[in-house]
Every structure is written in C-alpha cells, then in structure tokens.
C-alpha cells in the first residue's frame, strides 16, 4: 500500500536523510546550548551594574552577537565556506553544515540566555553575595538553576529553528531531509518525496516541542 | 560589635552626586537589637549594606567584629560575610530549591560537609518552627513562612550579626508580630546582635533596645527606645512616635471633645515605664474632688517597658484641677493641657 501511495519514495534514502537531519540537529543544538550559555553569561555579567561590569567586553560581544544574528542563514553558509573548508576539510555532507548551523544559532540563543538571566530577581543575587558566595558559586548555584526553565524553553525554540536551518543547509549540499525534498522531490517533480520529507520534519519539530514543554514544566517550581 | 566612624556614601549619578549616607557615627553593642528608622530614601538601605560590604563607604570606617568592611575584599570579605546573616523584605529565596536546600545554601558556600549540613538544617528548621515544610518550594509557602526560611538561612553559619532589611514590611500585622517574636527569641537564645531597618515605628517599639532616626542620610536622633518615645526631639521623630501612640483620627477626635466638654480641662497624660503600671486615675479620684472622664487611651508595650497615652477630661473647681495636675506631675507622668475652655 505504501508503495502505491508513494511510488517515488525510496524508504532507505528517507531513513538515511532523517538520520542525517537528526545528527545535524543534535550536534548543533548541543554546541549551541554550551556556546550560547557562555556568550549569554558573558553578556549578562559584563552588563551595567553586574559582577563583571565592563563596557568594552560587553560592547564587543554584543556586536558579535548582533552581526551574526542578523545575517540571513543562507548567506551565512556561503560566507562561511572558507572557514568550513579550513575546519572540516570539505563543504559537503552533514559535518560541513555544522559550523554554519552553530555560528548561526549560538548568537540567537545567547540573547535568549541574557534575557533569561536578566529576569532573575536581583535580590537573590544580592542575597548570595551577602552569604559570601564566589562568582563561580553564583553562576552555578544561582544564575543557571534559577534561569533553567527559560534556558530550556529557549533551547527548544532554537532547536526548532535549527531543524529549519538544516533543511536550508541541505539545499547547498549538506544532506538530510531538506536536501532530499529539494533534489529528489522538487527538482525531479516527485511531489510524494517532498510530502514525506515535510511530514518527517514536522514530526521532528513536534517531538522537540513536546520534550521541551515537558522538561520546562518539570523543572519550573515557581 | 559594630562601629561606624564618620561614614559617608556618595553615589555618582548623571544628575549629580547623591549623598545617601552623610557623616554617620554609630556604635552598636554585642547582643543589642538596634533599629534604624526612616522614610524611604533616607539612606537606611545603603547604611545597612555598608555593614556587610555590599556597599563600600566613600569615606569613613565601618568596623564589624573587628574587621574593616570597607577595606577588605576577596576571600577575607567573603569569610567576614559568612559571619553576618541578612534577611530581606522580599525574602530573596531561590525558587528552584526546597526549604531544606535553601537553608543549606549558605552551608554549601561555607564548605560544610554534606552530613553536617543536613544535621544543621534540621536544627534550623526546628529553631524557626518550619517542621513539616522541609520539602516544600518557596512558591508553596506563605509570606511568614518564607521569612522564616530567610531567617534560618541567615543563621545557618552561626553568624554574630543579623541584618534585617525591612524584614517585616511585606507581611501582614499578625505575621509581622510572629516574625518579631522569633527575632527576639533568637536574640536572647543565641546572643546575636541584630541591626534592623524599617519605616514602621511598631517594629522599633516591639523589639528594639535602641533606635536611630535617619533623615537625608544623617542620623538626627538616637537613644534608648523608651527614652525616644518619652522625649522625641526632632519633628520627624515625633511623627514616628505618633504612628504608635496616637491613632490617626486623634486630632479630629480631640477637637470634637473640646467642643463637647466646655467645662474643666482636657488633659493628655503620657506614661512611660513603671508609671504606666500605677493606678493613677484611681488616686486622683480618691484624693481630689474631681470628676474624671476617660476620653481615649492607648498603652503600648516596648521591649523595655510600657508606654502609654491617655486623654482625660477633668471637671471640678479650678483650684482642685490645678492641685490634681501638680500631683500628676510628681508621679513622673507627662502632662499636657489641651485647652482651657473657661
């Protein structure tokens, strides 16, 4: 029955493309999470009235974040080709998509992290200082745990954006479901392939959203 | 325990410098409950933050338990802070931690091993009366319970000083009283020095030994609470004392009373300490040929004795009234004749 409904769909290829998309998404989400939190923390801590208040460093990070956040992703991939070639050794395949995915998403997430940290009651940070906490303790035991629900819902949104980015990266040769939908589906006029690839991307997005919502509600004790 | 010499704190702002604390001199004894009262913007928040180094003085010296809080920094400052507990108006608990974990936080900071930490947390939960709520999150607690967690957390490392930053201002009157009772209890049991700032004279009246009144960054009046109640000197102090001794409608009521009693005298009597407990009115009625009509009265308990205000109407022969007033003055009772309507 499946073969009659989807005459042009080769299920092995679909499976391989799905794995590639999941691979690109997983790695880039993990890297974005770490890098974004790092940048977000720096943005927050160096901002006015905070522990490491420093206008120069804050300005440098803020402009870096703003620049990479504003470049359209498809252009960012092209701009990063030399960099990708240098780091990964090739500009084709799932691994070659990773630098662009991470550099495109981390600044976006960093801003979300900064907002999440700013939402924390200043009084709580003051209380920790009054107890004699070091900055490291404040970061690990106050800032990150208190902002955690917002950090998780932020990475959920970012992860979904990243699924979209992987599809775009697919068009320029990174593989995955986007690549399949474009090359096998659109260009060869096999609408059934496009449909299956789209549905699979939707399923991935829904699963990510579900997991994100579930985790957020579990850890939010407010 | 705490000595401030000539302390000034200036904030730089775009619109010019703001002097939040202006040449303050203060000495607080060990084991004392010391209150600082003032309206918002008087500089009391800055003053209390100078005591644990959250703010650094622009000038002057802040000595707490032998350490110069304005000079030390880094590890020394962090260790000194572990000896100074602080509680806040909005409690400032970590919502991501349970009651137990919140109280354990300062112990984690001090590097207390886990087993000892758990033991100490249990003691503290008992001390502040939170048995049964150990595993609740702050969002599941009432304001009073949250402040109890705050107090337990502040006491975790056995500090020598407890700073209270408007600790009862967000609580209802009944909860305020139970928290104040807890503070007195802790003060007696642990011999802890408590410094509190507030804008409510009620708090000062109820638990403080001494009080400093702050206005525009300066301490304008300071002394034993009972003494300040008896003889407030500055206008601002008088206003604060009135908060407790006179209901707001007193003035209106008095005007009304003066109209209603055209004969005799309406007198305001002020009782302090032991005098408040003597049956003065009974003596007057027995010794003088007067009708005594009690119009309004209020007795407040301070930490060191009672303080009361009584409005009475004395009716009778003029000489007899004068003799009665002379008698009252001998009893160390403050007398003020409000009007003579003859």
Mean pLDDT of B69-81: 93
B152 in Cβ contact with B128 (< 8 Å): yes
Distance CA B241, CA B236 (A): 9
Angle at B224 between CA B223 and CA B227, to 5 degrees: 95
Terminal alpha carbon distance of chain A: 50
pLDDT of the residue at A175: 83
B236 in Cβ contact with B220 (< 8 Å): yes
Distance CA A126, CA A130 (A): 6
pLDDT of the residue at B194: 96
Which residues of chain B make contact with A120, given a CB cutoff of 8 A?
none
> Testing the interface with B: which of A53, A127, A148 to mutate, by most B Cβ within 10 A?
A127
Quote the minimal CA–CA distance from A135 to chain B in Å.
11
Least Cα distance to B324 among B293, B281, B295 occurs for: B281
Which residues of chain A make contact with B111, given a CB cutoff of 8 A?
none
pLDDT of the residue at B266: 83
| Token reading at A187 | 């260009």
CB contact under 8 A, A222 and B105: no
Distance CA A166, CA A98 (A): 9
CB contact under 8 A, A221 and B96: yes
DSSP state of B43: S
Which sequence spans correspond to the domains of chain B? 2-244, 246-340
Instruction: Report chain B's mean pLDDT, rounded to a whole number.
Output: 88
CB contact under 8 A, B139 and A124: no
Nearest residue on chain A to B79, alpha-carbon basis: A132
More confident residue, B300 or B53: B53
> Which of B104-118, B222-236, B264-278 has the highest average model confidence (pLDDT)?
B104-118
Which residues are B17's β-sheet partners? Answer: B12
The minimal CB distance from B96 to the residues A126, A130, A148 is found for A148
Mean pLDDT of B87-97: 95
Nearest residue on chain B to A126, alpha-carbon basis: B54
Which residues of chain A make contact with B80, given a CB cutoff of 8 A?
132
> Testing the interface with A: which of B54, B89, B109 to mutate, by most A Cβ within 10 A?
B109
CATH number of B246-340, picked from 3.90.550.10, 1.10.3720.10, 3.30.70.260, 3.30.70.2190: 3.30.70.260
- pLDDT confidence of B251, banded at 50, 70, 90? low
**SS3 (DSSP) at B135:** coil
Nearest residue on chain B to A145, alpha-carbon basis: B96
pLDDT digits over B127-151, tens only? 999 999 999 999 999 999 999 999 9
Q: Does domain B2-244 have CATH number 3.40.50.1000?
A: no
Nearest residue on chain A to B51, alpha-carbon basis: A130
Nearest residue on chain B to A51, alpha-carbon basis: B54
Which residues of chain A make contact with B103, given a CB cutoff of 8 A?
none
Interface A-B, measured as beta-carbon pairs within 8 A, has a size of: 66
Burial class (CB in 10 A: 0-12, 13-18, 19+), A66: exposed
Is the pLDDT confidence value at B232 over 80?
yes
Distance CA A195, CA A186 (A): 10
CB contact under 8 A, B54 and A129: yes
The minimal CB distance from A137 to the residues B80, B93, B109 is found for B109
CB contact under 8 A, B95 and A146: yes
Please provide the DSSP assignment of B233-256 as one string.
Answer: -SHHHHHHHHHHHS-TTHHHHHHH
Is the pLDDT confidence value at B333 over 90?
no
**SS3 (DSSP) at B341:** coil
pLDDT of the residue at B342: 38
pLDDT digits over B25-43, tens only? 999 999 999 999 999 888 9
Mean pLDDT by 10 residues, chain A (222 residues): 75 89 94 96 92 92 92 89 88 87 94 95 95 95 95 96 90 83 85 89 95 94 84
- pLDDT confidence of B341, banded at 50, 70, 90? very low
Which residues of chain A make contact with B163, given a CB cutoff of 8 A?
130
Q: Which domains does chain A have, with CATH numbers?
A: 17-219 (1.10.3720.10)
| Token reading at A54 | 């420093």
3-state secondary structure chain A: CHHHHCCCCCHHHHHHHHHHHHHHHHHHHHHHHHHHHHHHHHHHHCCCCCCCCCHHHHHHHHHHHHHHHHCCHHHHHHHCHHHHHHHHCCCCCHHHHHHHHHHHHHHHHHHHHHHHHHCCCHHHHHHHHHCCCCHHHHHHHHHHHHHHHHHHHHHHHHHHHHHHHHHHHHHHHHCHHHHHHHHHHHCCCCHHHHHHHHHHHHHHHHHHHHHHHHHHHHHCCC
Mean pLDDT of B148-156: 95
The minimal CB distance from A131 to the residues B90, B97, B109 is found for B109
CB contact under 8 A, A128 and B105: yes
Angle at A30 between CA A24 and CA A33, to 5 degrees: 130
Burial class (CB in 10 A: 0-12, 13-18, 19+), A23: middle
B300 in Cβ contact with B208 (< 8 Å): no
Crossing angle, helix A144-169 and helix A191-219, to 10 degrees?
Answer: 180
The minimal CB distance from A134 to the residues B52, B78, B90 is found for B78
- Domains B2-244 and B246-340 in one fold: no
The pairing of beta strand B33-37 with beta strand B291-302: unpaired
Quote the minimal CA–CA distance from B143 to chain A in Å.
14
**Which chain A residues have any C-beta within 8 angstroms of a chain B C-beta?**
121, 123-124, 126-134, 137, 141-142, 145-146, 148, 219, 221-222
Distance CA B137, CA B98 (A): 4
**Which chain B residues have any C-beta within 8 angstroms of a chain A C-beta?**
52, 54, 77-82, 84, 86, 88, 90, 92-97, 105-106, 108-110, 137-139, 153, 157, 163
> Testing the interface with B: which of A130, A146, A216 to mutate, by most B Cβ within 10 A?
A130
Quote the minimal CA–CA distance from B2 to chain A in Å.
17
Distance CA B207, CA B297 (A): 22
CB contact under 8 A, B77 and A121: no
Is the pLDDT confidence value at B98 over 60?
yes
């Amino acid at each position: 029955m499946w073969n009659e409904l989807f005459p042009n769909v080769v299920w092995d290829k679909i499976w391989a493309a799905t794995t590639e998309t999941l691979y690109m998404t997983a790695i880039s989400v993990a890297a974005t999470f770490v890098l974004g939190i790092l940048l977000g923390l720096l943005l927050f801590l160096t901002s006015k009235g905070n522990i490491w208040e420093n206008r120069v460093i804050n300005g440098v990070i803020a402009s870096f974040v703003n620049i990479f956040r504003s470049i359209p992703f498809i252009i960012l991939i092209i701009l990063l080709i030399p960099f990708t070639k240098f780091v990964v050794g090739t500009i084709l395949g799932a691994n070659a998509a990773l630098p662009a995915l991470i550099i495109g998403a981390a600044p976006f997430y960093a801003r979300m992290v900064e907002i999440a940290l700013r939402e924390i009651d200043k009084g709580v940070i003051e209380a920790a200082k009054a107890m004699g906490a070091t900055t490291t303790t404040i970061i690990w035991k106050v800032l990150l745990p208190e902002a955690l629900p917002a950090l998780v819902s932020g990475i959920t949104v970012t992860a979904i954006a990243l699924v979209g980015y992987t599809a775009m990266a697919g068009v320029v040769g990174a593989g995955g479901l986007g690549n399949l939908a474009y090359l096998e589906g659109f260009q060869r006029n096999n609408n059934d392939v496009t449909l299956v690839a789209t549905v699979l991307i939707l399923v991935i997005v829904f699963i990510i959203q579900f997991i994100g919502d579930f985790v957020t509600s579990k850890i939010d004790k407010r | 325990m705490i000595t401030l010499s000539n302390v000034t704190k200036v904030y730089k702002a775009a619109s010019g410098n703001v002097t939040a604390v202006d040449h303050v001199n203060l000495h607080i004894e060990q084991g004392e409950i010391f209150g600082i009262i003032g309206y918002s913007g008087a500089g009391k928040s800055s003053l209390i933050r100078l005591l644990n180094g959250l703010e650094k003085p622009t000038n002057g010296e802040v000595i707490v338990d032998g350490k110069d809080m304005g000079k030390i920094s880094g590890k020394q400052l962090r260790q000194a802070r572990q000896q100074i507990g602080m509680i806040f108006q909005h409690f400032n608990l970590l919502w991501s931690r349970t009651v137990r974990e919140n109280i354990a936080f300062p112990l984690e900071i001090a590097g207390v091993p886990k087993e000892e930490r758990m033991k100490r947390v249990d003691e503290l939960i008992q001390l502040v009366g939170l048995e049964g709520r150990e595993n609740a999150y702050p969002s599941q607690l009432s304001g009073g319970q949250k402040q109890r967690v705050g107090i337990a957390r502040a006491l975790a490392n056995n500090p020598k000083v407890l700073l209270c930053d408007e600790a009862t201002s967000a609580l209802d009157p009944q909860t305020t009283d139970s928290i104040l009772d807890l503070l007195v209890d802790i003060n007696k049991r642990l011999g802890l020095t408590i410094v509190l700032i507030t804008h409510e004279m009620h708090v000062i009246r109820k638990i403080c030994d001494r009080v400093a009144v702050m206005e525009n960054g300066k301490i304008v009046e300071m002394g034993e609470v009972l003494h300040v109640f008896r003889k407030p000197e500055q206008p601002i102090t008088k206003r604060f004392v009135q908060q407790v001794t006179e209901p707001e409608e007193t003035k209106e009521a008095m005007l009304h009373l003066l109209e209603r009693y055209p004969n005799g005298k309406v007198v305001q009597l002020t009782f302090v300490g032991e005098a408040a407990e003597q049956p003065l009115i009974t003596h007057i009625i027995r010794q003088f040929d007067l009708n005594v009509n009690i119009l309004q009265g209020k007795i407040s308990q301070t930490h060191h004795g009672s303080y009361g205000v009584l409005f009475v109407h004395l009716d009778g022969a003029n000489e007899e009234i004068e003799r009665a007033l002379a008698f009252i003055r001998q009893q160390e009772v403050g007398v003020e004749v409000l009007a003579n309507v003859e």
